[in-house]
């Protein structure tokens, strides 16, 4: 099983795919997501979103000014400002 992940900014969809692990910085601290995670709605803090795909590749984005939501293994990250850096 995998997480269905969508990372979008105010201007564009940056990355969509399946991931085994996603780590994001929220105003409450860093949080990691794997399949089976309980539902969460959180405010993004300025920092990196690190995605490990099901193929083992890593996607890193700088993100700020937004929120994330996970439910039923679907993780959506909406950022006012975001850019893929690796």
Q: What is the CATH number of the domain that holds 48?
A: 2.60.15.10
Structure confidence at residue 18 as a pLDDT band (50, 70, 90)? very high
What span, in angstroms and rounded, lies between the C-alpha atoms of 39 and 60?
23
Do 83 and 61 contact (CB within 8 A), yes or no?
Answer: yes
Per-residue pLDDT tens digits for 23-81: 999 999 999 999 999 999 999 999 999 999 999 999 999 999 999 999 999 999 999 99
Residue 86, pLDDT score: 85
Structure confidence at residue 17 as a pLDDT band (50, 70, 90)? very high
Q: Give how many domains the chain has, as a whole number.
A: 1
Show the domain range for 23: 3-84
- Give the CA distances from residue 25 to residues 13, 69, 70, 84, in Å, rounded to whole numbers and listed in that order: 19, 13, 14, 15
């Amino acid at each position: 099983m995998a997480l269905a992940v969508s990372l979008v900014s105010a201007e564009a969809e940056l990355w969509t795919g399946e991931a085994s692990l996603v780590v994001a910085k929220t105003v409450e601290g860093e949080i990691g997501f794997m399949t089976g995670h309980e539902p969460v709605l959180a405010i993004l803090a300025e920092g990196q979103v690190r995605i490990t795909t099901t193929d083992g590749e890593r996607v890193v984005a700088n993100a700020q000014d937004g929120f994330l939501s996970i439910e039923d293994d679907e993780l959506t990250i909406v950022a006012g400002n975001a850019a893929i850096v690796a």
